[in-house]
Amino acid sequence: MSWFKPKVTKGSTSQAGHLEHNQHDEQRRQLFKTLGMCNDPGKDAVEVNYVPGYPSLAAFIASDPDHSTAVYRRFDRLSARNLLYLQAELVTLEKKQDELDQHDLNSDNIDAKDKARNWETLLTRAESGSDDEAKERVQVAKDIREKIKEYSQCFELWRDPERC
């Protein structure tokens, strides 16, 4: 299949409008020729020629009312690899969070323990600009949140392709 020409049917004309229709035939032919289209006045239809490749294939797939010709790759191997990379990134973030937790656990500083127990306190200290550890912990938490969201979405699409 090098090209596809779907028919675009125009409305029929009445007897009274037939003369006017004939007068404009030549103008329409010229316009269609300019646009790369072919006019078939006998069938009162327009055939559109598409460039071979993606344009003609897309037109062919789109013209199928029950979409039985639509065949798309799932890219399972790439999706699986992407999930593995996301898991590796999450493991790194998890390790960083565990290190921060261990630091707080080993600390005698009441302030550090308070930040580990209370999000509002942690956020307030991080936003104050003077507590670099609080800023780091908040950033790690936000990074985890974003990465988990991305991972969950990718995993759901990979696990259940019917959702697409």
The reply to whether 93 and 59 lie within a common domain is no
Q: Residue 1: inside a domain, yes or no?
A: no
Distance (Å, whole) CA 143 – CA 60 = 44
Tell me the two tokens of residue 15: 């007897």
Backbone angles phi, psi at 2, to 5 degrees: -90, -25
pLDDT (tens digit, 9 = 90+) per residue, 73-102? 888 899 999 999 999 999 999 999 999 999
Q: Which residues of the chain have pLDDT under 50?
A: 1-19, 23, 43-44
Tell me the two tokens of residue 1: 């299949």
pLDDT at site 22? 54
Q: Residue 70: inside a domain, yes or no?
A: no
The reply to whether 48 and 87 lie within a common domain is no
Distance (Å, whole) CA 31 – CA 158 = 48
Q: Residue 69: inside a domain, yes or no?
A: no
pTM of the model: 0.60
**Domain extent at residue 28:** 7-63
The reply to whether 89 and 15 lie within a common domain is no
How many domains does the structure of the chain reveal? 2
